[in-house]
């Protein structure tokens, strides 16, 4: 299976980068191929231009798509699965990731009558979060994140979808280091079983 990883974190000095690396080891262990869009290293432009907005607002497929967005379309359509790895910032991904959806999920590609995006076999979200799973459950924020990513952004663009929240990863959390190996094993296994 060929997997597109959309990775979004501003620093390599992060637990999220360890999550990414462990997930990739899992993919490689099971013989999967991958390509990566590292949005910060690519200096991906998250803000939608006026031309892009007008294309989307008026459903004008004939208006041009920027080269960087077309590049992401090609990566998606050459893959079998898409995986998003990012930290939770205010119950969502970083602004660059939100901008990736604003710009890459274009009319005629990800939605519309004649969309050209292939339906992917799997969509997976792996996010690191400072709060605990219990907090996300009690507040309903975990369900909100799942609805946003799995039901809205993935919708029918993938056949199977899953979200893994790696909890309590803030540096001040005592459990961060205690649970490090457990968390990294979990994402390694997610990479190894991506085709399931």
For the chain, list the domains and their CATH numbers.
Answer: 2-192 (3.40.50.360)
> What is the chain's percent helix, strand, coil content, to nearest 5?
45, 20, 35
The verdict on pTM exceeding 0.75 is: yes
Q: What is the rounded distance in angstroms from the CA atom of residue 66 to the CA atom of residue 51?
A: 10
Which residue from 92, 161, 84 is spatially nearest to 129, judged by alpha carbons? 92
pLDDT digits (tens, 9 = 90+) for 111-136: 998 899 999 999 999 999 988 899 99
The more confident residue out of 113 and 172 is 113
Higher pLDDT, 175 or 91: 91
What pLDDT is stored for residue 171 in this prediction? 77
CA distance 75 to 181: 31
Q: What is the pLDDT at residue 175?
A: 74
- pLDDT the model gives residue 178: 79
| Band of pLDDT at residue 172, cut at 50, 70 and 90 | confident
What are 18-40's pLDDT values in tens digits? 999 999 999 999 999 999 999 99
Residues contacting 146, CB < 8 A, separation 6+: 163
Instruction: Give the pLDDT confidence score for residue 57 in this predicted structure.
Output: 95
- Residue predicted with more confidence, 132 or 42: 42
Average confidence (pLDDT) over 95-113? 97
Average predicted confidence (pLDDT) for the chain: 95
């Amino acid at each position: 299976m060929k997997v597109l990883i959309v990775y979004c974190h501003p620093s390599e000095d992060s637990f999220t980068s360890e999550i990414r690396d462990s997930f990739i080891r899992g993919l490689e262990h099971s013989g999967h191929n991958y390509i990566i869009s590292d949005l910060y290293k690519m200096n991906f432009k998250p803000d939608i231009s006026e031309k892009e907005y007008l294309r989307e607002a008026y459903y004008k497929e004939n208006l041009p798509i920027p080269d960087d967005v077309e590049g992401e379309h090609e990566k998606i359509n050459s893959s079998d699965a898409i995986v998003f790895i990012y930290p939770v910032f205010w119950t969502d991904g970083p602004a660059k990731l939100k901008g990736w959806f604003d710009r890459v999920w274009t009319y005629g590609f990800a939605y519309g009558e004649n969309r050209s995006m292939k339906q992917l076999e799997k969509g997976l979200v792996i996010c690191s979060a400072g709060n605990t799973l219990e907090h996300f459950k009690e507040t309903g924020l975990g369900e909100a994140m799942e609805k946003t990513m799995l039901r809205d952004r993935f919708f029918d663009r993938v056949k199977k979808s899953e979200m893994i929240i790696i909890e309590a990863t803030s540096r001040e959390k005592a459990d961060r280091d205690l649970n490090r190996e457990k968390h990294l094993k979990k994402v390694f296994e997610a990479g190894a079983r991506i085709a399931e």
